[in-house]
Amino acid sequence: MRLHENNALGELGAAIGKGLLAGLAATAAMTLSQMIEMRITKRKPSEATLKVAEEAAGVKPTGRSEKQKVSQEIHWSYGTVWGISRGLISLTGLKGLPATLLHFGAVWGTSMIMLPQFKAAPPIYKEDAKAIAIDGFHHAVYATTAGIAYDALDAGGKHERKLNRLIKQLHLKGLISKLKF
């Protein structure tokens, strides 16, 4: 069996897998930033995830501990799965800051549209500036962490390997040593 370096399904699978890992790391970072922010601002945990779950899937947890458990499960699942979009963005060739900015816009933009649709949060034009800034900050933490994690996981991809082979061949031929930097 011969493996091709440009196997489209393999690249898609790798992008999805790396995206899931990046999404998991990003969700952890966002959770930490929210915990720190809530301690500082004395804000209570949001019930937005529960409201969406109740509306979309008919989930109705009873009791405080069950509500917290379901909320955390949804939060972690949702955040981890959003990492897939970071992987798909990489398949377009975008990396680094441009990919992170696109991912940030997709994640936060979806949140701003979806949550008001499920009556889990007011529309952005009805929010106060402080709440918008805090929400934007947490989503920026998410997207930045996902971008850093994804790019770290993606290092050593096929393009980098091709470049390293080319550099090695140029070294062997003595061409690199003739270049002056």
Tens digits of residue pLDDT in 98-134: 999 999 999 999 999 999 999 999 999 999 999 999 9
Is the pLDDT at 25 greater than 80? The verdict is yes
Query: What whole-number distance in Å separates Cα of residue 110 and Cα of residue 3?
Result: 38
Query: What whole-number distance in Å separates Cα of residue 51 and Cα of residue 60?
Result: 9
List the domain range (segments joined by +) for residue 15. 9-155
Helix boundaries (H) for the chain: 8-41, 48-57, 64-90, 96-117, 129-154, 158-172, 175-178
Residue 172 lies in a domain: no
Token pair for 177: 């040593």
Give Cα separations from 17 to 84, 90, 105 (angstroms).
8, 12, 21
Nearest CA among 95, 111, 141 for reference residue 46: 111
Mean pLDDT of 142-167: 81
Which residue is associated with the tokens 């501990």? 65
Token pair for 100: 């992170």
Q: Give the model's pLDDT for residue 58.
A: 84
8 A C-beta contact, residue 8 and residue 116 = no
Residue 1 lies in a domain: no
Residue 170 lies in a domain: no
Helix (H, G, I), strand (E, B) or coil at 95: coil
Token pair for 13: 């699978």
- The total domain count for the chain is 1
Residue 133 lies in a domain: yes
With 0.85 as the threshold, say if the pTM is over it: no
Residue 163 lies in a domain: no
Residue 180 lies in a domain: no
Residue 146 lies in a domain: yes
Integer-rounded Cα radius of gyration of the chain: 21
Nearest CA among 52, 14, 49 for reference residue 31: 49
Residue 143 lies in a domain: yes
Is the pLDDT at 178 greater than 70? The verdict is no
Q: Give the model's pLDDT for residue 175.
A: 57
Query: What whole-number distance in Å separates Cα of residue 155 and Cα of residue 166?
Result: 17
